[in-house]
């Protein structure tokens, strides 16, 4: 997969060299190119913003440097005829695990990191395939949202995660939040690991994990259960979790 990120703060992209993303890049599974939008500004001050038409606070990112940047990237030798252009914005479609999987299947992504009051809407209309929000809050720019999305996308690339089962058991992979996890020692500070996990009974362990995932989802994200096909046992676990007093 090739990824291009356009921003006025290329230093924001340094974390993309670390951890799983860095390993995916080292293995040649992921190519990430950062671009400074100011390289396409045409005045000596490298200006990329201006006052908004109609008045109002803040500044708006100009369409001309964005169009020049995206044309240069799209005309480069990429893995597809045209990249999929993504604009992180609080007004966009919510980013989900399913959305991450959809984007992980694309050969070429371009992220446009807006700043100030945002990017001139004509650029969005002309170029954007996706406007994506990572949550109901406002950031100072699209860089952090891009890092979040790339972290989620990269780990879904084939071979990016050493143990593929780690992905299939993730929160949201089956519509539920992932339940609690434990490791050694079995007794820590007077708190014991649930005995079922030490039993060696794989069927009982699988049932316990699903029950815990159901309980956690019911307490924290009951909205997710509406789309789930629950059996009678699942419904009993959910009902009991919802009836428990809040901690």
Report the catalytic residues: 90, 117, 155, 170
DSSP character at residue 128? -
Strands 187-188 and 130-133: unpaired
Torsion of CA 97, 99, 100, 102, to 10 degrees: 130
Pairing of strands 60-61, 49-50: antiparallel
Q: How many CB atoms lie within 10 A of CB 49?
A: 19
Q: Which residues are annotated as a binding site for S-adenosyl-L-methionine?
A: 114, 134-139
Binding residue positions: 114, 134-139
Is the CB of residue 123 less than 8 Å from the CB of residue 85?
A: no
Residue in 90, 87, 95 with CA at minimum distance from that of residue 138 = 90
**Buried residues in 156-191 as b, exposed as e (16+ CB within 10 A):** bbeebbeeeeeeeebbbeebbbbbeeeeeeeeeeee
d(CA 139, CA 67): 23
Is residue 161 within 8 A of residue 29, CB to CB? The reply is no
SS3 234: helix
Cα–Cα distances (Å) from 165 to 29, 69, 169, in that order, read 19, 39, 6
């Amino acid at each position: 997969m090739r990824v291009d990120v356009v921003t006025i703060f290329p230093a924001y992209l340094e974390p993309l060299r670390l951890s799983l993303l860095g390993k995916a890049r080292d293995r040649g599974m992921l190519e990430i190119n950062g671009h400074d939008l100011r390289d396409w500004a045409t005045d000596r001050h490298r200006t990329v913003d201006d006052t908004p038409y109609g008045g109002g606070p803040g500044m708006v990112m100009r369409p001309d440097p964005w169009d020049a940047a995206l044309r240069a990237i799209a005309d480069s030798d990429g893995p597809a005829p045209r990249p999929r252009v993504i604009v992180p914005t609080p007004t966009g479609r919510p980013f989900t695990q399913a959305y991450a999987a959809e984007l992980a299947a694309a050969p070429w992504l371009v992220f446009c990191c807006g700043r100030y009051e945002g990017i001139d809407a004509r650029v969005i209309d002309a170029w954007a395939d996706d406007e994506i929000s990572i949550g109901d809050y406002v950031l100072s720019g699209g860089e952090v949202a891009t890092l979040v999305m790339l972290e989620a996308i990269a780990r879904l690339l084939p071979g990016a995660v050493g143990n593929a089962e780690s992905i299939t058991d993730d929160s949201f992979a089956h519509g539920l939040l992932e339940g609690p996890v434990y490791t050694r020692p079995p007794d820590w500070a007077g708190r014991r690991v649930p005995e079922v996990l030490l039993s060696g009974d794989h069927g009982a362990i699988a049932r316990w994990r699903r029950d815990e995932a159901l309980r956690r989802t019911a307490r924290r994200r009951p909205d997710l259960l509406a789309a789930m096909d629950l059996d009678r046992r699942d419904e009993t676990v959910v009902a009991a979790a919802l009836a428990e007093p809040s901690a």
